[in-house]
Amino acid sequence: MSTLLDISDLTVRFETRRGFVHAVNGVSYTLEKGKTLGIVGESGSGKSVHFLAALGLLPPTVKREITGRVLFDGKDLLTLSDEELSDIRGRDIGVVFQDPMSALNPVLTVGRQLREVLMRHQPLSKAQAEARAIELLDLVGIPEPQRRVRQYPHQFSGGMRQRVMIAIAISCQPKLLIADEATTALDVTVQAQIVDLIRDLSAKMDMSVIWITHDLGVLAGIADQVQVMYGGRVMERGPVDAIFDNPRNAYTRGLLNSVPSLDENAEKRLYQIPGSPPDLSKPPVGDPFAPRNPDATERCFAEMPPLRAVEGSPGHVVAAWYELPPYAEGSR
C-alpha cells in the first residue's frame, strides 16, 4: 500500500473587511492509492475549502493565507507554480462539483470540452481526442455517445450532465478523483447510479477518491475511511464501520442520531443537535463543537483537543477530551 496524498497541518485563513476568517485549522490526513476517503461535514466545516486551497482553486480575488504541506505523489502542491499546478489538475487530479451546469461551458459542445482537457494534457490529434471523448462518454454510461458528443450541455439532463463532468474529470486517468457534493443536486435514483459509476471506475482504474458530502448514507456505501470535519478541523476519522458503529466524537454521534433510522417514526422525537455552527471569524479557542455539546467539559471550552487514537479500534482517531459512553444504535 502506498500513500498518494499526505496533508499535514493545512491551515487556510481568509482576510475580510471584518477580520480573518479561520476556514481551515491544522487539517492533516493521508490517502492510500486506490482507496476512498469520505469527508462529511456541513457548511463552514472546511471540507471543500481545504482541497480548493490545496489545488489553487480559490477565487483569485479572495485574500488568503495558506500554510502547511500537501504532498501529492511526493510533490508539495503548495509550493508549485500556477503552471505546474494546472498541469496536475485535470491530469493527475480530477474534480467533480455539485453543479454541472455552471461547471460546463454552455456555448461549447460536450465533445469540444472533453477534447480541450485531453489535448491540454496528452499529445493527441483532434481526431484521436474526438475518438477518446466518445469512448469516455460510453464509459460513464451515456447512451449514443457518437451523437451526444456533438451536443451542448443544455441538451443533457442533470444526471447526464454530471456523467459528462465525470467523463472530463477521469479523461486523463487521474490518480485522484475529488467528488465535492457531486450527487447532492441529483434525484435519489440518479445519485445511486453515479455512486455506482464512481465506485466501479475507482476499482477499474485503481483511482483514489475523496468523496465530500453531508449525506452519511452515501458514505456508508462507498467509503473505506470516513473523516468528520467541523469548524475547519478534523473531529474524527476511521474505517467506515468503526465510525458508524462506534462514533467517539459528540458531533459524529449527533449527526448519526439526527438521521431518522429505518424503523423510526414520528412517535419518537428526532434527536436534534442544539445551537448552530460556529462563526469562524471569531474562532473558539477550544473544541469548536463544545457550545453545542451537552456533555462538554470545562477543558473542551478552554483547549482544542488533539487527535488521539481510539483504544481497541485500529486506524480510528478522535479529537475529544471526553469519553462517550458505549454506542448502541438501538438505544438512540
Partner 1 sequence: MSAGHDHLLSVSDLTKTYRTRGGLFSKASDFHAVKNVGFHVGRNETLGLVGESGSGKSTIGRMVMGLTAPTAGQVTFDGEDVTSLPASRVKDVRRKMQMVFQDPYSALSPRMRVGQFVAEPMVVHGIGDSEADRREQVVGLFRRVGLNPDFMERYPHEFSGGQRQRICIARALALGPKFIVADEPITALDVSIQAQIVNLFQDLQQEMQMSYLFIAHDLSMVRYLCQRVAVMLRGRLVEIGPTAAIFGDPQHPYTQSLLSAVPIANPRLERARKRIAYQYSPETLGNQLEEVSSGHFVLK
List contacts with partner 1 (CB under 8 A): 42-43, 158, 187-192, 195, 214-218, 220-221, 240-241, 244, 251, 254-256, 258-262, 264-266, 269-274, 276-277, 292, 329
Please identify, using beta-carbon distances, which residue of 279 and 303 lies nearer to partner 1.
279
User: What does residue 68 show for φ and ψ, rounded to 5 degrees?
Assistant: 115, -160
Minimum CB separation of residue 29 from partner 1 in Å reads: 20
Cβ proximity to partner 1, 110 vs 195, nearer residue: 195
DSSP state of 125: -
Nearer CB in complex with partner 1: 271/322: 271
Closer Cβ to partner 1, 69 or 214, answer by number: 214
Cell numbers standing for residue 326: 458505549
58/192 with CB nearer partner 1: 192
Residue in the structure block whose three cell numbers are 477550544: 286
Query: Shortest Cβ distance from residue 256 to partner 1 (Å)?
Result: 7
- The grid cell for 36 is 476512498
CB of 222 to partner 1, least distance (A): 9
The nearer residue to partner 1, 1 or 266, going by C-beta atoms, is 266
Angle at which helix 126-139 crosses helix 158-169, to 10 degrees, equals 130
CB 280 within 8 A of CB 287: no
| Maximal CA-CA distance, the chain | 66
Q: Shortest Cβ distance from residue 307 to partner 1 (Å)? A: 21
Q: Terminus-to-terminus CA distance in the chain, angstroms?
A: 37
Closest separation in Å from C-beta 119 to partner 1: 34
Gap between the Cα atoms of 270 and 260, Å rounded: 7
We find the least distance from the C-beta atom of residue 276 to partner 1, in angstroms, to be 5
Nearest to 167 by CA among 159, 154, 127: 159
Phi, psi angle pair for 319, to nearest 5°: -105, 105
Nearer CB in complex with partner 1: 7/21: 21
Residue 113 beta carbon to partner 1: minimum distance, rounded to whole angstroms: 24
119: enclosing H helix or E strand: helix 110-121
CA separation for the pair 213, 181 (Å, rounded)? 5
Give the containing element (helix H, strand E) for 171.
none
d(CA 297, CA 307): 17
